[in-house]
Structure 1
Amino acid sequence: MLAALGLFALPAGAQPDYPARPVKLVVSLPPGSGADSTARFIAQKLAAKLGQPFVVENRPGGNGFIGARAVADAAPDGYTLFVGSNSTMVTNAVLFTNPPYDPVNGFAPVERLARFAMVVVVPANSPYKALGGLIGALRTAPGKLNYAAGSPTYQIYTELLNERFHVRANPIAYKGTAPAMTDVAAGHVDYAIGEISAVLPLIRAGRVRPLAVTAPQRLKDLPQVPTVAESGAPGFDVAAWTGVFAPSKVPGQIVNVLSAAVREAMQQPDSVKFITGLGGEVYLGGPQHFRQFQLAEIERTRDIVKRAAIQIE
C-alpha cells in the first residue's frame, strides 16, 4: 500500500536492501533528555517503517563533541546516524574555532524532527511579575543582575533577548539546563531562559514564574503567558530544535529514503501528540531546506556572538 502511494518508493539507483541490518542513532546527551526522548520515539517509528531495529546510543559529554565526532567519522553507509540539535550543529560551529568535527561539511542533513519554544523564568518569589518588570530592573542597574545559562546556546539566546531590550546582565554558566533551573528555583540567580519541557514541571510546581515565551505565538500549555514579541520585542523567535543527520558522504539515495521515512512517521497523529506533549511542535522540511536552515542559524548565531562579545574558544 505504501509503495503504491509512493511514500517509500526508492529513487533510481538506490540500494533496495537498505536498511539490511540494525541502524544506530547517536545522541550526544544522556538518557532522559528531550533529545534522547525524541530519538527513542523516532527510532521506534523508523524500525516499524523500514523493518530493521534503530538503536539509540547515548554518547554525552564534551559539549556534544564526543557523539557528533563519532558519527562524522563513521562509515558513510547509512548505518550510523546522529540526532543533532542547535547546540551541536550551530552553536559549536560558532563558538569553537577548531571543533573536533565539522558541523556543516561533516554531515548530510536528513530531516528536522521538532522544535521547542523557550520560556523566560524567574524564581517564584521574584519581585518581577512580567517581563517588563525584569527589563526595568535591568535598565535601572546595568550589569548588576545575573542569569543562568544552562549551555552556550542558552547564553546566546539570553544575550539576544538582552540586546533586543538594550540591557546588560551577568551570565552564570551551568553544565546543563537542570542545574541552571534548580538555581533559578532556589533564587540563586535572577532569571533564565529554559526550554519548555525543562521548565514546565517547575512552573506547574510553583517553583519558578514564567514571564514570556520565545515563540511567535502563545503556547497552549501557558496560554496566559505573553510572548517576548508581545512584551516589546517584535519578531523575537528562538527555539531549541532537533534533527537527524548522517555522515557527509552517505549516498543521496539513502538520505532520501531516511528523509521520507522520518517525514511520514512524524506526521502521524501519535507523533504529533508525543511532540506536543513535550511542549514542542513537529518541524519538518526536507534535506535541502534543513541545510539552508542550519546555515542561516549559524549566521544569525555568529552575529549575536559578535555583538555580545561572547568568547570564542
Structure 2
Amino acid sequence: MALASDAFPSKPLRFVVPFPPGSGTDTTARLFARKIGEITGQGVAVENRAGGNGFIAVQSLLSAPADGHTVFIGSNSTLSTNAALFKKLPYDPLKDFAPISLLSRGACVVIVPANSRYQTLKDLIDDAHKRPGALNYGSGSISYRLYSEWLNEMVGMKTTEIPFKGAGAAINAIVSGEVDFAVVDASGAIELIVGGRVRGLAFTAPDRSPLIPNVPNASEAGIPNFLAYNWVAAAVSAKTPAAIVEKLIALFQQVGAALDVREYYSRQSTSLLMTPPADLTRYQKEEIDRWKRLAQTVNIEQQ
C-alpha cells in the first residue's frame, strides 16, 4: 500500500504570505511557487493574508490540513520579531512550525521623499536632535518598527512611528511625502531610488549595493553597526508528517539550485541562502533573543 507521502503533492499547493502583493516576501513566494509548479505539475496559489501583525496568515496555515499542501512563506516579522513585541502570541514561532529553509536575506535602506530637505542621513539625524519627537517614520511591519527604533537608539534621536499595512504602503507614503523617513527592504525601493522618486540615505550593509551605487553603506553613512536585514523563510505546520516535510525540503532546495533562480537573486539586493531546516531554527532563536534585548533597551512596551 502506497503511503500518502509517495504521491506528494497530490493536489494544488497554497503558499500563505503575511504581506500584500509587491513585498519582498511576496516576490520570493511567487518565484518559488512558479518553479515548484513547473517541477511538480501542480498549481501553486499564492495567498496574501496581510494585516493583524501576521496573525491572520499564521492562523490560515495552522487551521489548514497539516498535509504539506499549505506552506507558510514568512519573514522575520512573523518568525522572530513578533516574539519580542507581544506578551502573548496566538502561536509559537518555533514550536508551531516545521522549518523548511531560510530562503533569502537582504539589507534595508533608509529612504526619504525625493523633495526632502535631508540630503544625507546626518541631515536627518541633526534635525531630529533639534526637534525630538517631531519627525515621523513609516513602518510596514513589526520588524521595520524595531529597525527604526534601533536606528533611533543608535544615533540618539526620538521619532514617531506611523504604522502601515506592509512595506509597500510605507514606501508609497515616502513617495507621497506623508512621512519623513522609513527603513524598508531595499528590494522594494531600488527602482524608486534609481528613478528619483525617493532618496536613499543609507544601505544597511557593510558594502554599497551595485544596484544603487550612489547610496552610502552603513559605515559611510555614520552607522557602521546598523546592519538591518530582512529575511524570508518557508515552513509548514509542525503537525505535518516528517516524510512530507522532507519532500518539501527537497523541492525548495531543487528550486534554489536552479540557474535562473540563482541569476535572479544575483541581480537583486537580496542573497539566496537556502539553508537546512536546523539552520533556520537556530537563526530564529538568535533573532528572537536579539529583538527581545532591543525592545527592552529602547523601552518598547509589549502589546
Q: TM-score if structure 2 supplies the norm length?
A: 0.90
Aligned to 1:16, the other structure's residue is in SS state helix
Is this contact kept in 2: 1:14–1:253, CA < 8 A?
no
Structure 1 residue 306 corresponds to structure 2 residue 296: yes
- What's the offset of the Cα at 1:276? 4.4
Q: Which runs of 5+ in 1 are unaligned?
A: 1-12
Structure 2 residue aligned with 1:65: 55
Structure 1 residue aligned with 2:116: 126
- Residue 71 of structure 2 is aligned with which of 77, 81, 99? 81
Structure 1 residue aligned with 2:97: 107
Structure 1 residue aligned with 2:161: 171
- What's the offset of the Cα at 1:286? 0.9
Q: Measure the CA separation in 1 of the matches of 2:45 and 2:169.
A: 29
- Residue 145 of structure 2 is aligned with which of 122, 136, 155? 155
Q: Measure the CA separation in 1 of the matches of 2:163 and 2:291.
A: 18
1:65-114 CA distance string (max 9 Å, x none): 11211212333221221111112212222222233322221111101222
Q: May I ask how many residue pairs the two structures share in their alignment?
A: 301
CA root-mean-square deviation: 2.2
1:202-245 CA distance string (max 9 Å, x none): 21332221111112321121112121233233333212211110
- What's the offset of the Cα at 1:277? 4.5
Structure 1 residue 250 corresponds to structure 2 residue 253: no
- Residue 261 of structure 2 is aligned with which of 262, 271, 276? 271
1:238-262 CA distance string (max 9 Å, x none): 1221111010122333222222221
Structure 1 residue 54 corresponds to structure 2 residue 29: no
- The code of the aligned residue for 1:212 comes to A
- What's the offset of the Cα at 1:64? 1.7
Q: Measure the CA separation in 1 of the matches of 2:10 and 2:175.
A: 49
Q: Measure the CA separation in 1 of the matches of 2:44 and 2:173.
A: 37
- The code of the aligned residue for 1:257 comes to K
Structure 1 residue aligned with 2:272: 282
Structure 1 residue 293 corresponds to structure 2 residue 283: yes
Cα distance change, pair 148–14 in 1 and its aligned pair in 2 (3 A): same
1:113-161 CA distance string (max 9 Å, x none): 2223211112222232222222222233333322222222211101111
Q: Measure the CA separation in 2 of the matches of 1:87 and 1:50.
A: 30
Q: Measure the CA separation in 2 of the matches of 1:268 and 1:72.
A: 30
The list of structure 1 runs, each at least 4 consecutive aligned residues, that deviate by more than 6 angstroms after superposition, is: none
Cα distance change, pair 68–272 in 1 and its aligned pair in 2 (3 A): same
Q: Measure the CA separation in 2 of the matches of 1:147 and 1:156.
A: 12
Q: Measure the CA separation in 2 of the matches of 1:180 and 1:238.
A: 17
Q: Measure the CA separation in 2 of the matches of 1:156 and 1:140.
A: 23
- What's the offset of the Cα at 1:300? 1.0
Q: Which runs of 5+ in 2 are unaligned?
A: none
Q: Measure the CA separation in 1 of the matches of 2:116 and 2:42.
A: 51
Deviates more, 1:15-24 or 1:190-199: 15-24
Deviates more, 1:285-294 or 1:112-121: 112-121
Q: Measure the CA separation in 2 of the matches of 1:288 and 1:104.
A: 11
- What's the offset of the Cα at 1:51? 4.4
Q: Measure the CA separation in 2 of the matches of 1:161 and 1:72.
A: 34
- What's the offset of the Cα at 1:266? 1.5
- What's the offset of the Cα at 1:278? 4.9
Aligned to 1:160, the other structure's residue is in SS state helix
Structure 1 residue aligned with 2:129: 139
Is this contact kept in 1: 2:136–2:180, CA < 8 A?
yes
Cα distance change, pair 192–60 in 1 and its aligned pair in 2 (3 A): closer
- The code of the aligned residue for 2:73 comes to V
Cα distance change, pair 253–274 in 1 and its aligned pair in 2 (3 A): same
Q: Measure the CA separation in 2 of the matches of 1:26 and 1:225.
A: 33
- What's the offset of the Cα at 1:55? 2.8
Is this contact kept in 1: 2:76–2:230, CA < 8 A?
yes
Q: Measure the CA separation in 2 of the matches of 1:233 and 1:206.
A: 24
Aligned to 1:45, the other structure's residue is in SS state helix
Q: TM-score if structure 1 supplies the norm length?
A: 0.87
Is this contact kept in 2: 1:147–1:169, CA < 8 A?
yes
Aligned to 1:43, the other structure's residue is in SS state helix
Deviates more, 1:204-213 or 1:122-131: 122-131
Q: List aligned pairs for 1:31-46, cutoff 5 A.
A: 31-46=21-36
- What's the offset of the Cα at 1:281? 2.0
Is this contact kept in 2: 1:272–1:281, CA < 8 A?
no
